[in-house]
Amino acid sequence: MPYSSCNFTNKYATCSGKPNFGANMKGKIIIGLLIAISVIGASGIYYVYQILFTPNLRVEQSDKWLYIPQGADFKQVMDSLKTGEFLNDELSFAFLSKITGYQDKVYPGAYLVKANSTNKDVLWRLKSGRQSPVKLTFNNLRLKQDLVTRLSTQLNIPEAEFFGYLNNPDSCRMLGFDTLTITAMFIPNTYELKWNTPIHKFMRRMQTEYNTFWSQKRRDEKAKALGLTRMQVMVLASITEAETKKADEMPVVARVYKNRLDDDMLLQADPTVIYALKDFTIKRVYSGTINKAGMNPFNTYKVKGLPPAPINLPSITAIDAVLNMPPHNYIYFCANAELNGYHSFAVTYEEHMANVAKYTKALDEMGIK
């Protein structure tokens, strides 16, 4: 029988027995627990949502690179994130890294963290090992040291390793060059590579790019028509590049030197003397400067013909200027007296000396030594 009973037949209901307070309390507790679980569950869902989809990277204005070296573990990744001040909330990133298994498997490489990225965005890249390609660029370089320094700052290859490769006769010979001409293989451009590309793969890539650049049209139709090898074109382009930065003037300058070669004359290119001395502070070449360079094979005031290797990494513009130089009879040129970056050209020595006098006077008036 029930613990208590009520009579509803009268006007006023009456009940007999004790009220069931235990049952009421139990029901309230259950309801309270359900509410608490719901609140906790909602909070948990919200927290998970925040962890996954709320921007957590301090990259608000522009993208930022995260570099993870070979053999790095999760602690090193976190150290890099802290040092680079990438994270707003380190705990949420570490938590998600744990439950996704990233802490157990770290892939090396370079990863571009985009503005307003979430933990999910970044971890998806890191966990899959999907590196962002590095845009490798090199131009306006003279020496092998310059090239090595530039490359090692953009790729995860130490300078010593680069030097070892570029100074190894066997390695260079396998690529079709020697230790002096190997820099000619690097055509200045922008290339996309993985940051941790091994040096042998990188060098093979540069060889492929070089061979692709030297298409049949450039190699056979143009270079051979000029009576020049690919290397000779590169050397002549490097001298042209050093003489003028004006793209519209480069073909004219290149033809001056080709005319001198054809006439069996000394090239007498000032930039080659400067390169021979490796003193790039020299602004004007005098007889003393030339004598100091002596019989260095790069001193074209003393040694006939083209130097044995390029004196810089010539741009594609300079290379094509050589390949497409127009015919003319100029044998001489010097900087324009207006000092506007252009040159004055001459057919005869007398015309040339008149141009030199104007240029020298302009320099003297400006106090330039």
Computed over every residue of the chain, the mean pLDDT equals 86
| pLDDT on residue 30 | 54
Look at residue 137 and give its three-state secondary structure. strand
Coil/strand/helix, residue 15: strand
Residue 229 has pLDDT above 70, yes or no: yes
Rounded CA gap, 219 and 258, in Å?
17
Residue 123 has pLDDT above 50, yes or no: yes
d(CA 154, CA 363): 40
Q: What is the pLDDT of residue 19?
A: 54
> How far apart (Å, rounded) are the C-alpha atoms in residues 66 and 80?
7
pLDDT over 90 for what percent of the chain? 63
pLDDT at 13: 47
pLDDT digits (tens, 9 = 90+) for 235-277: 999 999 999 999 999 999 999 999 999 999 999 999 999 999 9
Q: Is the dihedral of CA 280, 286, 288, 290 positive or negative?
A: positive
End-to-end, the C-alpha distance of the chain in Å comes to 121
Tokens 């056979």 belong to 220
Supply 201's token pair. 């793969």
3-state secondary structure of 167: coil
- Does the pLDDT value for residue 103 go beyond 50? yes
CA dihedral of 233, 234, 236, 241, whole degrees rounded to 10: 130
Contact 57, 87 (CB under 8 A): yes
The answer to whether 237 and 184 have CB atoms below 8 angstroms apart is: no
Per-residue model confidence as pLDDT tens digits over 168-224 = 999 999 999 999 999 999 999 999 999 999 999 999 999 999 999 998 888 878 999
Q: DSSP H helical segments within the chain, as ranges?
A: 21-53, 74-83, 90-100, 119-128, 144-154, 159-166, 169-174, 199-213, 216, 224-226, 230-243, 250-262, 270-277, 287-293, 316-323, 349-365
Q: Residue for token digits 């613990």?
A: 3
Segments making up each domain of the chain, as ranges: 64-128, 134-213, 225-328
* Nearest to 122, CA basis, from 157, 92, 160: 92
Q: SS3 for 66-97, per residue? A: EEECCCCCHHHHHHHHHHCCCECCHHHHHHHH
pLDDT (tens digit, 9 = 90+) per residue, 133-182? 999 998 889 999 999 999 999 999 999 999 999 999 999 999 999 999 99
Per-residue pLDDT at 42: 42
Query: Residue 311 — φ and ψ, nearest 5°?
Result: -95, 5
Please say if the pLDDT value at position 44 is more than 80: no
For tokens 């009520």, the residue is 6
State the DSSP code for 222: I
Rounded to whole angstroms, the Cα distance separating 350 from 343 reads: 16
Tell whether the model's pLDDT for residue 55 goes beyond 60.
no
CB 206 within 8 A of CB 186: yes
If you average pLDDT over residues 308-315, what whole number do you get?
96
Under 8 Å between Cβ of 255 and 328: yes
Domain 64-128, CATH class in plain words: alpha beta
What is the rounded distance in angstroms from the CA atom of residue 20 to the CA atom of residue 39? 29
pLDDT over threshold 80, residue 46: no
Q: How far is CA 111 from CA 101, 126, 246, in A?
A: 18, 7, 38
- The whole-number pLDDT of residue 62 equals 65
